Amino acid sequence: MSYQTIEIERDARGVATLWLARADKHNALNAAMMADLTDAARIPR
């Protein structure tokens, strides 16, 4: 899945790595990032 404010990658073991992608705003949380994080947490394991 594609997100606007985060990047997520899952390795072969199923371990997910998540990066915040708002460096220009010092990775401050906003409504879009909160929505992306919430959605990413719901990805089936």
**Per-residue model confidence (pLDDT) at position 14:** 87
Residue range of the domain that includes 22: 6-41
**Per-residue model confidence (pLDDT) at position 45:** 59
The Cα–Cα gap between 17 and 34 comes to 17
3 state SS for the chain: CCCCCEEEEECCCCCEEEEECCHHHCCCCCHHHHHHHHHHHCCCC
Domains identified in the chain, total number? 1
pLDDT tens-place values along the chain, 45 residues long: 789 999 999 999 989 899 999 999 999 999 999 999 999 998 775
In a domain, 35, yes or no: yes
Which of 30, 23, 24 minimizes the C-alpha distance to 38?
30
Q: CB burial class (10 A; 0-12, 13-18, 19+) of residue 6?
A: middle
In a domain, 1, yes or no: no
Note the pTM of the prediction, 2 decimals. 0.81
